[in-house]
């Protein structure tokens, strides 16, 4: 009886690991985005702490859209742009006017990269 349950336990463990990896992907990307923003915009500790949950949620939603097998690359890109637009005001609330100016330029580059990815080509570097 125990020998028959071992494969089921292994399968269950693998599914737990897969779930953990999926959720940690958003965590890793969210933290990476926060680090990048922190360096580029010179965020304060308070700003980083307030932006962390917003960016983690944003990356979680983006990953879900990117992994949806029913969508074409163009649809995935449009969904990602929509998600990014949804989270913009939530981020902007915590930025100073000079930081907002820098963030606006960064977002323009992000949009170009997302659209280029949807078209199957690499974005032009500025």
Helix pair angle (97-119, 73-92), 10° resolution: 170
21-58 pLDDT, tens digit per residue, is 455 777 888 899 999 999 999 999 999 999 999 999 99
Is position 63 within any domain? yes
Is position 50 within any domain? yes
* CA pair distance 9, 56, nearest whole angstrom: 31
71 is in which domain, residue-wise? Answer: 8-119
Is position 2 within any domain? no
Q: What is the DSSP letter of 51?
A: H
Total count of domains within the chain? 1
Is position 27 within any domain? yes
* CA pair distance 125, 10, nearest whole angstrom: 46
Predicted TM-score (pTM) above 0.75: no
């Amino acid at each position: 009886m125990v020998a028959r349950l071992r494969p089921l336990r292994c399968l269950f463990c693998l599914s737990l690991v897969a779930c953990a990896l999926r959720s940690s992907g958003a965590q890793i990307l969210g933290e990476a985005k926060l680090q990048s923003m922190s360096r580029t915009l010179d965020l304060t500790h308070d700003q980083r702490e307030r932006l962390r949950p917003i960016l983690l949620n944003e990356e979680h939603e983006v990953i879900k859209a990117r992994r949806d097998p029913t969508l074409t690359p163009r649809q995935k890109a449009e969904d990602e742009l929509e998600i990014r637009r949804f989270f913009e005001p939530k981020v902007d609330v915590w930025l100073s006017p000079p930081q907002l100016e820098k963030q606006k330029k960064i977002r323009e580059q992000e949009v170009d990269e997302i659209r280029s990815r949807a078209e199957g080509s690499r974005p032009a570097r500025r």
